[in-house]
């Protein structure tokens, strides 16, 4: 048993001061005022040093694993090695549950990523699945990001779902002129940042994407129905209009990833959908594609969830930036990366908040240099996974 004391416990509804927390086996056994919990039988007392005792972060959209597996366009590292090294990074960023967002693209005009081939995605899916029953640091889950022009991958996705290897599915359409790249000028500048292309070559790419074959609505609805049968959450991506939201709702979508404007985000919430924004957006002061400002959307009550997207440290720092710079209540900012994503993926009965009898996924946070938040300890399933000691 572990006793964590001298800290501020972050709960869904507020922050408890003068309380301590007892971990027994894999569960939060008790939360009580300091001094009320008997010390007898406790294996270790951990001093939180007046920092924060918070739930572990739940990241439901991040493709960081792709960068670890393919650090260069022409390089593929061993996938099992990549997963094992990635979880070392993630756990030290407070991420105790990661939905690895593996992209099922047909083509990617911005950069060649062999990691996104069907064969490589399949290999990663198998490794993630095996991790559940082998030694591991954090919970690994598979978020299937299905690009709707990749008609050849439909049978693979069906198989993954039927084999219980998919834990979240999202449908994406990166066709220029709508969604994330509804502003074609931004699309042109973005693609030219990746490749040395003439205006004519960019025009040809835009024309190709406007005429390419895409999955039919019947196919999308079939995949969505299969996911719903297995209690898998379904997400839409880059919603840019009320019409697109309503279409997404028609195939049981409950999550709107990266809505393009605050108005669309608010409309998604009115329709009972969870809304997601990227935490890097907050650190950068806005969207790199000129779309929704995550900070502004949170302040206006239009965003429920933050994800790391491509930068794992962003979750921790975005929480404190929103509190300190934008005067948002701290526990509510923690909810964006804990209980809210847990609810969105239907895991809130076991993780996502500090409550008695829930899984003991807990992180300790201290401030150094006055206001810089750092993670000093992480528990997953009641096991102390890592401790970090800052020194002078």
pLDDT value at position 289?
65
- Whether the CB-CB separation of 97 and 141 falls below 8 Å is answered with yes
C-alpha 237/C-alpha 316 separation (Å) is 24
Tokens at residue 228, please? 């719903």
Alpha helix segments (H runs only) across 230-293: 242-250, 262-270, 279-284
3-state secondary structure of 218: helix
Q: Is 265 exposed, middle or buried (0-12, 13-18, 19+ CB in 10 A)?
A: buried
Count of residues in the chain: 392
- Whether the CB-CB separation of 274 and 344 falls below 8 Å is answered with yes
pLDDT value at position 18?
96
pLDDT value at position 177?
41
Separate counts of helices (H) and strands (E) for the chain: 14, 16
Chain centroid, CA 373 distance in Å: 20
Q: What is the location of CATH 3.20.20.140 in the chain?
A: 57-175+212-344
Query: pLDDT tens, 96-142?
Result: 999 999 988 655 544 556 788 889 999 999 999 999 999 999 999 99
CATH of span 57-175+212-344 = 3.20.20.140
Residue ranges in the chain modelled with pLDDT below 70 = 105-113, 174-212, 288-290
| DSSP letter string, 346-381 | T-TTTSSS--TTSB--EEEEEEETTTEEEEEEEEET
Closest CA to 222 of 132, 148, 320: 148
Query: pLDDT tens, 328-385?
Result: 999 999 999 999 999 999 999 999 999 999 999 999 999 999 899 999 999 999 999 9
- Whether the CB-CB separation of 47 and 87 falls below 8 Å is answered with no
pLDDT value at position 222?
96
3-state secondary structure of 147: strand
Under DSSP, the state recorded for 309 is: B
3-state secondary structure of 222: helix
Closest CA to 319 of 307, 309, 22: 307
How many C-beta neighbours within 10 Å does residue 89 have? 14
Q: Give the angle 61-289-120 at the CA atoms, nearest 5°.
A: 40
Q: What is the location of CATH 2.30.40.10 in the chain?
A: 2-54+353-387
C-alpha 163/C-alpha 152 separation (Å) is 19
Q: Domain 2-54+353-387 is classified in which CATH homologous superfamily?
A: Urease, subunit C, domain 1 (2.30.40.10)
pTM of the model: 0.89
């Amino acid at each position: 048993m572990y006793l964590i004391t001298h800290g501020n416990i972050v709960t869904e509804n507020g922050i408890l001061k003068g309380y301590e927390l007892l971990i027994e086996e894999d569960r939060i056994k008790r939360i009580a005022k300091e001094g009320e919990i008997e010390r007898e039988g406790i294996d270790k007392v951990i001093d939180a040093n007046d920092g924060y005792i918070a739930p572990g972060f739940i990241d439901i959209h991040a493709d960081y694993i792709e960068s670890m597996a393919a650090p260069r366009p022409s390089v593929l590292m061993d996938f099992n090695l990549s997963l094992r090294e990635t979880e070392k990074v993630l756990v030290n960023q407070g991420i105790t549950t990661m939905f690895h967002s593996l992209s099922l693209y047909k083509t990617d005009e911005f950069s060649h990523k062999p990691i996104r081939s069907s064969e490589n995605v399949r290999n990663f899916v198998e490794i993630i699945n095996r991790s559940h029953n082998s030694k591991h640091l954090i919970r690994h889950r598979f978020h299937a990001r299905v690009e709707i022009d990749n008609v050849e991958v439909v049978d693979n996705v069906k198989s993954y779902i039927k084999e219980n290897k998919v834990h979240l599915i999202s449908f994406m359409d990166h066709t220029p002129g709508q969604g994330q790249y509804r502003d074609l000028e931004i699309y042109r500048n973005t693609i030219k940042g990746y490749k040395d292309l003439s205006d004519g070559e960019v025009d040809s790419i835009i024309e190709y994407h406007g005429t390419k074959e895409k999955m039919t609505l019947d196919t999308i609805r079939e995949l969505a129905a299969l996911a719903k049968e297995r209690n898998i959450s379904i997400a839409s991506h880059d919603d840019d209009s009320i019409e697109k939201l309503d279409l997404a709702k028609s195939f049981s979508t409950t999550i709107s990833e990266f809505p393009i404007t605050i108005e669309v985000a608010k409309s998604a919430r009115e329709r009972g959908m969870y809304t997601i924004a990227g935490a890097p957006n907050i650190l950068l002061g806005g969207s790199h594609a000129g779309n929704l400002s995550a900070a502004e959307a949170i302040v206006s009550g239009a965003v429920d969830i933050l994800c790391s997207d491509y930068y794992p440290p962003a979750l921790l720092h975005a929480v404190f930036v929103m509190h300190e710079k934008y005067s948002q209540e701290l526990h509510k900012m923690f909810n964006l990366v804990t209980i809210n994503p847990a609810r969105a993926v239907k895991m809130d009965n076991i993780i996502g908040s500090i409550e008695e009898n829930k899984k003991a996924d807990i992180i300790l946070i201290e401030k150094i240099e006055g206001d810089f938040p750092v993670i000093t300890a992480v528990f997953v399933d009641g096991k102390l996974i890592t401790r970090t000691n800052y020194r002078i």
